């Protein structure tokens, strides 16, 4: 009984939202806004559920003594402390901002820096991993954009490189991005229609 009911609800709500977007009827618009607000509320609660799931997974890791359980313990302690401080002092209080400014932002920024190293390494190994014409074009494009973005050391601005970089970014990159976005949009529409038809049921298992 659960699967047919959930499928029926999903199809009905999806049709209402879709029709409400295309057909400017007042009842449909109101219903669409109401359903979207419900979805927003559910998404917020889903965030809380996700946090609980995160806590539970790491708690089991600590409890069962799995490898890297110490890091799970640190995560649990950090989660608890942050919840306590922000909940007590408020999200815009000094301690909360201090935690965010001096712990989270640096950590994530460092990860971003690490990403730079990883991407550089990936660029170095690109042709070794996948040697073909497209990879060579890819690598050359990367080099042109990199060198055309900022002035070169000891050289300064390179107008040719700047021009080529602008051309690449504004024409083939945009065109390729548009094409990819169109294809992704078609795939998204197909996925949505499959869910509206009930062929895909990611909600009911």
Partner 1 sequence: MADLRCPMCGKSNPPQSEVCQYCQARLKPLVAPPSTENEPEPSSDSEDLFPAKDDALPNWLDGLRENDEPRTESQEEQADEDGVETWSSEEEQRLSSAFTFSSEEASDTDEDWLARLTGDQEHQPEDQAPLQDEPAESSASAAFLDIDEVAGDESSSEWLAEFQTSSLGLEETSETSLPSDDQGEEVVTEGDRPHWLDLIRSQQQKESELTAPMSSQDEDLEGNQIWGDKPVDKEGESDWLSDIGMEEGEGELTIDSKDLPDWLVESGAFRPESPVESEQAFPGWLAESDLPEDEPAPEAGEDLPDWIAASPAAGSGEINKPRQDLPDWLSNVSEQEVDQSGLPEPVESGEGEDFSAEEEGGLPDWLTKLDATAGEQTPGRGVPALILDEDEEAFAAPGVDELETQTDEDISTVPDWLTQVAAQEDVVEGAAPLDGEAEPDLATAQLPSWLQAMRPVESAAPSAPAAKEKDKVVEKVGPLAGLAGVLPAEPEFVHLSKPKSSLVKLQVTDNQQTHITLLENLLAEEGQAKPVPARSAITSQYFLRLLIALVVFISVIAPLWLNRQLLPLPEPAGVSTEVYDFSQTLAGLPSGAPILVAFDYEPSFSGELEALAAATVAEAVGRGAQLVMISTNPTGPLLAERLMTTRMADVNPGYVNLGYIPGGAAGLLAFAQTPRDLNPFDLQGTRVWEVAPLASVNSVSDFALVMVLTENPDTARSWIEQVQPALGAAGKPMLMVLSAQAEPMVRPYYETNPKQVNGMISGLAGGAAFESISGMEGVARLYWDAFGTGLVIAAALMLLGGIASLVLALISKPDTSEGKGAL
Partner 2 sequence: MNLAGIFGLAFVILFFGLMIILAAAGRNRPGRQLREIPAFARLRRAVGLAVEAGTRLHVSVGRGALTGLQSAAAFMGLSMLSRIARAASISDRPPIATSGDGSLSILSQDTLRGAYQTLGAEGQYDFSSGQLAGLTPFSYAVGTIPIIHDEQISANVLIGHFGSEVALINDAAEQSGSLTVAGTDNLPGQAVLYATAQEPLIGEEVFAGGAYLGAGLIHEASLRAQDLLRMLLVIFIITAALLRLFGLDSLILDLLAGFLP
Site for partner 2, rule CB under 8 A:
18, 21-24, 36, 39-40, 42-43, 46-51, 53-54, 56-57, 60, 66-68, 71, 108, 111-112, 114-115, 118-119, 121-123, 126, 129, 138, 177, 179-184, 186-197, 199-200, 202-205
What x/- string results for residues 125 through 154 when contact with partner 1 is judged by CB under 8 A? xxxxxxxx---x--x--xx--xx-xxxxx-
Closer residue to partner 1 (CB): 12 or 44: 44
Closer residue to partner 1 (CB): 1 or 154: 154
Of 27, 65, 156, 205, which one interacts with partner 1 (CB under 8 A)?
Answer: 156
Of 15, 19, 36, 52, which one interacts with partner 1 (CB under 8 A)?
Answer: 36
195 binds, options partner 1, partner 2, none, Cβ within 5 to 8 A by partner type: partner 2
Q: Does 83 bind partner 1 (CB under 8 A)?
A: no
Q: Cβ–Cβ contacts within 10 Å for residue 71, how many? A: 12
State how far the Cα of 193 lies from the Cα of 10, in Å rounded to an integer: 11
State how far the Cα of 179 lies from the Cα of 41, in Å rounded to an integer: 34
Q: Count the residues of the shown chain that bind partner 1, applying the rule CB under 8 A.
A: 58
167 binds, options partner 1, partner 2, none, Cβ within 5 to 8 A by partner type: none
Instruction: Name 15's Cβ contacts closer than 8 Å, sequence gap at least 6.
Output: 196
CA 54 to chain centre: 18
DSSP per-residue letters across 153-195: TTTB--HHHHHHHHHHHHTHHHHHHHHHHHHHHHHHHHHHHHH
Q: Contact, 203 vs 6, CB < 8 A?
A: yes
Q: Does 117 bind partner 1 (CB under 8 A)?
A: yes
Torsion of CA 82, 87, 89, 91, to 10 degrees: 80
Q: Does 167 bind partner 1 (CB under 8 A)?
A: no
CA angle at 157 for the pair 154 and 163, rounded to the nearest 5°? 145
State how far the Cα of 155 lies from the Cα of 38, in Å rounded to an integer: 58
Interacting residues with partner 1 (CB under 8 A): 33, 36-37, 39-41, 43-44, 47, 90-92, 96-97, 100-101, 104-105, 108-109, 111-113, 116-117, 120-121, 123-132, 136, 139, 142-143, 146-147, 149-153, 156-157, 166, 169-170, 173-174, 177-178, 181
């Amino acid at each position: 009984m659960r699967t047919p009911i959930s499928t029926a609800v999903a199809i009905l709500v999806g049709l209402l939202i879709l029709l409400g977007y295309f057909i400017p009827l007042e009842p449909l618009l109101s219903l669409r806004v109401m359903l979207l607000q419900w979805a927003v509320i559910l998404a917020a609660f889903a965030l809380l559920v996700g946090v609980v799931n995160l806590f539970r997974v790491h708690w089991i890791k600590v409890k069962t003594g799995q490898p890297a359980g110490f890091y799970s313990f640190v995560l649990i302690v950090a989660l608890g402390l942050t919840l306590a401080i922000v909940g007590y002092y408020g999200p815009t209080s000094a301690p909360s901002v201090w935690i965010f400014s001096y712990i989270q932002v640096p950590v994530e920024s460092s990860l971003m820096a690490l990403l730079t190293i990883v991407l550089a390494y990936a660029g170095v190994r690109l042709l070794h991993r996948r040697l073909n014409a497209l990879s060579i074009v890819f690598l050359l494009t990367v080099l042109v954009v990199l060198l055309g973005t900022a002035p070169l050391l000891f050289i300064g601005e390179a107008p040719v490189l700047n021009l080529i970089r602008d051309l690449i970014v504004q024409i083939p990159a945009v065109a390729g991005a548009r094409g990819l976005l169109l294809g992704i949009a078609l795939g998204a529409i197909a996925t949505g229609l499959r869910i509206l038809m009930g062929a895909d049921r990611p909600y009911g298992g």
